[in-house]
């Protein structure tokens, strides 16, 4: 496995001064990001398959162990505050359970039975989208869980950093990240982990965008649950509707914090009419705004 190889460049790494070592580590991170470019078409194909399932109510399920599992958990945890994605529609199947998010649970990743059992426990179904991550691509827990999820009809994406890995042969959408040897042999929290996080950033952001949760570069499905987010909501409504701060505050209050509904209210619709407009367009604010534009003029 190339992620276990010793890189000749870093043989005397510990002898370098801070500037030399940091520059080399930084360059390795750039290489990790560059490794994502060749697989953008594969990500696009996976999105085409995933979005209809999510639109029908499917869940996003992240499967992994160790570093890869924690990277998946991080991506999943950000979906609710950023896009108001329902908490019950994102799941983390982590080898060793939730305890392993903070502490290494030795040997947990070696059990294929535990992986298959976890999939059974969360009742994976055909509309679910599974994102399975393993730098080695051969982690028994992750491979077995992916096989079990696919057998239950779920769409599976396998993200690995070693070519010809079992995970890539097991899933519907293989994504091979050719990050090569690590600066510290086998330490996949470095290049492999960075590339995996980039892929998840791209995939989940694009999925949320296709589901109508982004409008003109704004996270319009966000819920204003603290002072910072309330200010952000006011700014978004003012930007979208072209109204005053006072009008934005009033619209947000009438919409009980729903930015998309508030923007339509600020453009002259009643609360019920705004909701009906969004329902008509499956929550897509752009389509709703396009329909009311003639009225606004």
Over residues 90-130, the pLDDT tens digits come to 999 999 988 888 888 878 899 999 999 999 999 999 999 99
Residues 141-187 have pLDDT tens digits of 999 999 999 999 999 999 999 999 999 999 999 999 999 999 999 99
pLDDT value at residue 296: 46
Q: Is the pLDDT of residue 297 over 50?
A: no
How many other CB atoms are there within 10 angstroms of residue 103's CB atom?
8
Q: Is the pLDDT of residue 53 over 90?
A: yes
Q: Which of 78, 106, 182, 245 is catalytic?
A: 78
Contact criterion met (CB below 8 Å) for 210 and 203: no
Q: Which residues pair with 92 in a beta bridge?
A: 62
Report the percentage of the chain scoring pLDDT > 70. Answer: 99
pLDDT value at residue 102: 86
Return the domain boundaries, the chain.
2-210, 227-296
- Rounded Cα–Cα distance for residues 192 and 190 (Å): 6
CATH of domain 2-210: 3.40.50.10490
Q: Which residues pair with 132 in a beta bridge?
A: 63, 158
27 in catalytic set: no
Q: Which of 27, 109, 182, 245 is catalytic?
A: 109
- Name the CATH topology of 227-296: Helicase, Ruva Protein; domain 3 (1.10.8)
The mean-pLDDT minimum among 94-103, 223-232, 249-258, 272-281 falls in: 94-103
pLDDT band for position 294 (cuts 50, 70, 90): low
DSSP the chain: -GGGSPPGGGTTGGGS-HHHHHHHHHHHHHHHHHTTGGGHHHHHHHHHHHHHHHHTT--EEEEE-HHHHHHHHHHHHTHHHHH---GGGEEEEETT-GGGGTS--TTGGG-HHHHHHHHHHTT--TT-EEEEEESSS--HHHHHHHHHHHHTT-EEEEEESSTT-HHHHHSSEEEE----S-SSTT-TTTHHHHHHHHHHHHHHHHHHHHTT--BTTB-TT----SHHHHHHHHHHHHHHH---HHHHHHHHHHTTT-HHHHHHHHTT--HHHHHHHHHHTTT-HHHHHHHHHHHH-
pLDDT value at residue 69: 95
pLDDT value at residue 103: 85
Residue 221 token pair = 């499905």
Report the percentage of the chain scoring pLDDT > 90. Answer: 92
109 in catalytic set: yes
Residues 66-86 have pLDDT tens digits of 999 999 999 999 999 999 999
Residues 240-269 have pLDDT tens digits of 999 999 999 999 999 999 999 999 999 999
């Amino acid at each position: 496995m190339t992620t276990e190889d010793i890189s000749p460049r870093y043989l005397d790494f510990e002898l370098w001064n801070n500037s030399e070592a940091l520059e080399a580590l930084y360059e390795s991170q750039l290489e990790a990001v560059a490794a994502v470019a060749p697989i953008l078409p594969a990500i696009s194909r996976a999105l085409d398959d995933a979005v209809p399932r999510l639109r029908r109510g499917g869940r996003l399920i992240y499967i992994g162990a160790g570093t890869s599992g924690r990277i998946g958990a991080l991506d999943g945890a950000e979906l609710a505050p950023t896009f108001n994605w329902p908490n019950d529609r994102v799941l983390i199947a982590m080898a060793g359970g939730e305890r392993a998010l903070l502490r290494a649970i030795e040997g947990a990743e070696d059990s294929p039975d535990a992986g298959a059992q976890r999939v059974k426990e969360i009742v994976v179904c055909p509309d679910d989208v599974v994102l399975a991550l393993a730098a080695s691509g051969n982690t028994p827990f992750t491979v077995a869980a992916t096989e079990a999820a696919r057998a239950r009809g779920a769409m599976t994406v396998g993200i690995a950093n070693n070519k010809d890995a079992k995970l890539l042969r097991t899933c519907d959408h293989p994504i091979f990240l050719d990050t090569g040897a690590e600066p510290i042999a086998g330490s996949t929290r470095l290049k492999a982990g960075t590339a995996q996080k980039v892929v998840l950033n791209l995939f989940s952001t694009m999925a949320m965008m296709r589901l109508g949760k982004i409008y003109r570069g704004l996270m319009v499905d966000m819920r204003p649950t603290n002072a910072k987010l309330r200010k952000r909501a006011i700014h978004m409504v003012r930007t979208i509707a072209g109204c005053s701060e006072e009008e934005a505050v009033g619209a947000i209050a009438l919409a009980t914090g729903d930015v998309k509904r508030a923007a339509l209210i600020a453009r002259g619709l009643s609360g019920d009419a705004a909701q009906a407009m969004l329902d008509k367009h499956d929550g897509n604010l752009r389509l709703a705004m396009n329909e009311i534009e003639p009225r606004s003029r």
